[in-house]
Amino acid sequence: MKNNGKKELPRIHTGFAGEESGYYFDVSQVLFEKQSSFQKVKVIQNRDFGRVLLLDNEVMTTEWDHFFYPEMITHPALTSHPAPKSLGIIGGGDGGVATEACRHTDLAEVIMCEIDEEVVKASREFFPKLSAGLNDERVTCVFEDGTKWLVPYQQHFDVLLVDGTDPIGPGIVLFEEAFYQQAKASLKPGGIFVQQVESPMYSRRCSDMAFELLFEDIVKRARTIFDQVHVYVVTIPSYIGCYWAFMYAGGPDLPLQPRDERWQRIAGQTQYYSPEIQQAAFTLPPFVKRLLSE
């Protein structure tokens, strides 16, 4: 039945080296492929998912489900902070986080530090809508190692978002105590730090995934640094595990509730985020609570 009468398409399999499961995509067209100094950047066309951005064979974003991740890493913090003026982004090379952030018209400054300029270039060309915010005059892109870039910033940001890769290889420094100390120091009083912290489903893998830092270990580590660390969960259909966690951290006066006057600035522009969805995302099921308390 498959591709009846049609040419057989080349098929790619995503997943870390050594994984024995993952997504497959039949490739209608390879739109872009380049080995950067850091990773292999690739954009393919797939019939079901549309355009897919892959970094070292891991799915970063797809046309199909592009909005879940950038909306949900950005808007909970920017809607709960009473008056965010300065935003820092580490990673976020596809531009999705910058685009969502720029919907908050009173934000004065967005500084994004992405290690790999090739990701930004590929996203500008092949995901123009997702990366549109990179053209906003409030956005500055710096191409550097995020941990080095952050050092001089002291009590500078109202919100700092980390849209990085998984905690393997060079990306692991963004999950270390030294980085969390820097991140804490970079925030103004009342500032909010948000980071993607893997999937609680990985803690449930039937196999040992020895190269991974588990979700609950990341959160427990951050709790030794920040006064408050909360967790919320988001479905990201194209990421294996699908059920991904974000860490929401800050000082004793960390703002947690979405503010209606801030939501009104972006209402009608989101596909997944709403203040009610924010409240729902912070509601953790028993198995996630157990992972965090054990």
User: C-beta of 287: minimal distance to a second copy in Å?
Assistant: 4
Query: Do the beta carbons of residue 41 and residue 93 sit within 8 Å?
Result: no
Kindly name the residue from 163, 208, 227, 260 that is annotated as catalytic: 163
Q: Give whichever of 11 and 105 is closer to a second copy, judged by the CB atom.
A: 11
Query: Could you give the C-alpha distances from 133 to 128, 143, 241, in angstroms and in order?
Result: 9, 17, 28
Residue 58 interacts with a second copy (CB under 8 A)?
no
Q: Give whichever of 17 and 105 is closer to a second copy, judged by the CB atom.
A: 17
Query: Do the beta carbons of residue 67 and residue 77 sit within 8 Å?
Result: no
Compute the chain's Rg from CA coordinates. 19
Catalytic, 158? Answer no
Q: Give whichever of 46 and 195 is closer to a second copy, judged by the CB atom.
A: 46
What's the CA gap between 38 and 56, in Å, rounded? 9
User: C-beta of 59: minimal distance to a second copy in Å?
Assistant: 11
Residue 24 interacts with a second copy (CB under 8 A)?
yes
What's the CA gap between 235 and 244, in Å, rounded? 6
Q: Give whichever of 72 and 113 is closer to a second copy, judged by the CB atom.
A: 72
Q: In what order do the strands lie in the sheet with 157-163?
A: 139-143, 109-114, 86-91, 157-163, 187-196, 243-250, 228-235
Residue 9 interacts with a second copy (CB under 8 A)?
yes
What's the CA gap between 110 and 86, in Å, rounded? 6
| CA-wise closest residue to 246 among 199, 206, 294 | 199
Residue 190 interacts with a second copy (CB under 8 A)?
no
The single residue among 137, 206, 252, 294 that binds a second copy, judged by CB under 8 A, is 206
Residue 69 interacts with a second copy (CB under 8 A)?
no
Written as one letter, the residue type at 202 is Y
Residue 210 interacts with a second copy (CB under 8 A)?
no
Residue 39 has phi, psi (to 5 degrees) of -165, 170
The single residue among 38, 67, 143, 153 that binds a second copy, judged by CB under 8 A, is 67
Residue 189 interacts with a second copy (CB under 8 A)?
no
Looking at 106-114, 126-134, 165-173, 239-247, which segment touches a second copy (CB under 8 A)?
239-247
Catalytic residues: 163
